Chains A and B, each alone.
Chain A
Amino acid sequence: AQRVTQPEKLLSVFKGAPVELKCNYSYSGSPELFWYVQYSRQRLQLLLRHISRESIKGFTADLNKGETSFHLKKPFAQEEDSAMYYCALRQTGANNLFFGTGTRLTVIP
């Protein structure tokens, strides 16, 4: 069975500091990993996906199959990054997503 773990419920960093939100997964196949973000009073929206290998809003995430991790990183946090972040996994050939419990990031001015 698949599982997505986000060990930190809350994470606070100062503006300008690096930030890393951790995500580990377990899945026997070859998964597709995503990061979704939910800003205050807004709906969930896709931030990035591992197959795109792109940087969105300064965030990057690399899939490490050896460590089964997909940590989200940003070198310099901004106040507008404060939000709830969810890591999600999609099984090979499937449509639906399995979400982690989320990490609330607070960037302190």
Chain B
Amino acid sequence: GAVVSQHPSWVICKSGTSVKIECRSLDFQATTMFWYRQFPKQSLMLMATSNEGSKATYEQGVEKDKFLINHASLTLSTLTVTSAHPEDSSFYICSVTGETDTQYFGPGTRLTVL
């Protein structure tokens, strides 16, 4: 299967700053990438779906201006949390699919906003 990495694995930032999280597909042409958010003891919630070279599709209730997604290449997608606030503290996980529809998950990024 695909190897998916995320960077950073853990980030702490001050309220009001922006944070960028990278998702890389190391050995796989990821035509579609997904971003999930997972609050403690809760399930993964899909935030958005992005296809390479096109705008991301956001799920209902997810602010596109706050969570900026860029899927610039077949191996990289970034999620930028703009003007982060403590309620944005969560575990952010990306996944990728390619020619098959199997989703391969990254290890996740823990964001803590002070």
Residues of A within 8 A of B32 (CB): 95
Q: A44-B95, A95-B49, A99-B43 are in contact. List 4 more A-B contacts (CB 8 A).
A: A43-B107, A46-B103, A95-B101, A96-B49
**B interface SS class:** strand
* Residue in A43, A97, A99 whose CB lies within 8 Å of B108: A43
Whether A86 pairs with B43 at a CB distance below 8 angstroms is: yes
Residues of chain B having any CB pair with chain A under 8 Å: 1, 4, 32, 34, 41-46, 49, 93, 95, 97, 101-108
Residues of chain A having any CB pair with chain B under 8 Å: 9, 42-46, 86, 90, 95-102
Give CA–CA (A97, B44) in the complex, Å: 9
Q: How far is the CB of B54 from chain A (nearest CB, A)?
A: 13
CB nearest neighbor in B for A45: B105
Listed by A's residue number, 15 A-B pairs whose Cβ atoms lie within 8 Å are A9-B41, A43-B106, A44-B93, A44-B105, A45-B1, A46-B102, A46-B103, A86-B43, A86-B44, A95-B101, A96-B46, A98-B46, A99-B45, A101-B43, A102-B43
